[in-house]
Amino acid sequence: MSTTTTTPLTTELRDAALAALERLGADVPAGTGLPVVSPLSGQPLLELRRDGTAEAEAAVGRAAEAFRTWRSVPAPCAARWSSAWASCSPSTRRTWPSS
């Protein structure tokens, strides 16, 4: 007995990836310069805006500071917060305070 696996179309992969990011509350900066390709087919899915060194360093700095704060939160509190955040809609998540 043989099994046939069908690779999703590039548009289906792009739509699924963007939908998953939206559910997570991620902003996807559309633009040009940074191609995103499917690991399944090697086909281009979309292009993102290419930020410069200053923007990348600022983002890494914000992430590092957020991690330092987050790791000081007791595990039970972090679990409750994560669960509450996950149950919110993406539009609600964007309104949560950043600090």
- pLDDT for 17: 83
- pLDDT for 99: 45
Instruction: Say which residue the tokens 């990836």 belong to.
Output: 17
* Nearest of 23, 16, 17, 19 to residue 87 by alpha carbon: 23
- Helix or strand run (H / E) with residue 37: strand 33-37
- pLDDT for 56: 87
By the 8 A CB rule, do 46 and 30 touch? yes
- pLDDT for 86: 79
Across the 99 residues of the chain, what is the mean pLDDT of every consecutive 10-residue run?
65 85 75 82 84 89 92 91 79 62
